[in-house]
Chains A and B, each alone.
Chain A
Amino acid sequence: MVPPLRSSEDAPGTYGEGAPPTGADLLRLDDVNVRFGDRQVLRDVAFAIEPGQFVGLIGSNGAGKTTLLRVILGLQRPTSGAVHLAAGHELGGAGRPRRAPLVGYVPQKVMLDPDLPLRARDVVALGIDGRRPGIGLPSRSRLALVDRLLEQVSATRFADSRVGELSGGEQQRVLIAHALIGRPRLLLLDEPLANLDLNAGQDVVNLLARLAHEQQIAILLSAHEMNPLLPVMDRVVYLAGGRAVSGRTDEVIRTDVLSGLYGRPVEVLEVQGRVLVVAGLETPDLPVVSAGARATR
């Protein structure tokens, strides 16, 4: 077991392999803070993810979802706090993985250039060895692996199409296959449903839920709209104003907890099977913000 690595002398935030206390956690964040100048983007964010869990990272635009994902990927160094990945895996991001990385990533708002001379299968293949120098030689086992991944995400039909000419949902599936081919144990997706219509979005959610349960791949998916995720989410990390509460959906999506998180009264309503978080009525005695956040961890 390796202690968390110091990322640098001047930055107290750490990122590295560690020994999670429970032993079961794949990823654990300890009081992660990120400040850009005098803007505090993340404030004492702490949560853990276990193998095979489907976790929704819910928050409105600007709540810090993308920053949080970038911290987990090692693309953004926390101002303070630590990110622990399960031991036995190489670092992603700044750590330059030598073996397959623990974490796979699907970035947000990807609409690829229609002129990109890459087929869907080429993008998937880049997930195997895209970080290596040189051109790379084709091999039978590589081709078979790419075919298998394309099949897993139901992308065989457009495997040979130009990736930039595919629909948003199709591109999303190709990028998921790209991330999965490196055999990650944790898959991060940044707003994968943002550009999709309802059907395509539901397809992606179902695909991810299947991966989580069949292959024990943990999913951390950010979204500003939680309703499409409610049937499949095992846990939720709710972000508002840089603070986070996490827990089971019924522990977090509650009027008292979210009011504490927002620091103002909000109400959780259920309308025709849909959960809505709306601004609530003023009440004088609010729960203390951080106490609410800690209580549900």
Chain B
Amino acid sequence: MKKLFFKSCLYVVLILITLEIIVRIFHLSKDNPSRFVDEFNVEKWVPNQEGYSVTGNRRQNFSKFYINNSGYNSYREFAPTLNKKELALVGDSFIEGFHQNYYNSIGKKIENKLQDFEVYEYGYAGYDFADQLHLIHAYKETFDKIDYVVLGLKFENDLMRSEYNVVTDRMHLESPLYRNARKIKLLVYTQNIGVLEPLWKLAGRIASIGKKANSNEEKEVTEAEIQYQQNIYVDNFKSLIDKYGFDKTRFILLLNVDVTPQHFLDYLNKNNFEYIDFGNALKQSKKPTTLIYDRHWNNHGREIIANLIAEHIKKSN
């Protein structure tokens, strides 16, 4: 029995070491850049990092990212002036674009279409509308020099807060425990592909022993409850623009009309908020617009988004 136990342990250790080496050699796991909160309380990536973003078990998507001096994934540095024409894209992971080589981003595609514009991509995974407006407000001097600012807005996800605070949960990922765990590439890889999911679920089940079980039954949400929630989101939108400001002459929302409530769209129209709808264009595409195993836009999807923004800016110019 002892022999079985020790030999099994030995094999497990040796196999884990070999797998760690294989994962590193073939770069099967993604690189995780470090994040921080700057002096203006804005959460962003630590400048001047580079690495690779990987999607899928077998590197189905593999792309390089580069974090510039401003702390965002972009091939260019952000240096707006009053003389040049600039466009800023502000948003979450869809704008951040880790799923595409940084030199082939939405911003770059827009620049190819609008020759005289510089495009600055202030994308960061998890940014909601509060993050976006706080960023613009905190870096007012910079953003005042930018001619157009496009803000990505997903109604259901991005309006849950009425004011900005640093998301502490995200910043926990920078704790020494997580930072050290991320050094084990096999761990990152297995976590990303879902192998460790049952382990975390089990840990959760053990942790909840003795506690009152939450009812897992999903309650059917009534129309009135949906309406109530949507009204809260609209109120949050209003609070945020009141607090941080929203320059309607330069700011444009980028949203999907198909998943945005009509009464919010009516509110935007009534109050002269400009917006670009990307839902219809993506829907009409004959080729897939998202990645495999990932709902983020692929190269074709990004091309469509870039086109829409470029066309809108051309018209506004």
Q: Say whether A and B bind each other.
A: no
Which A residues have a C-beta under 8 Å from some C-beta of B? none
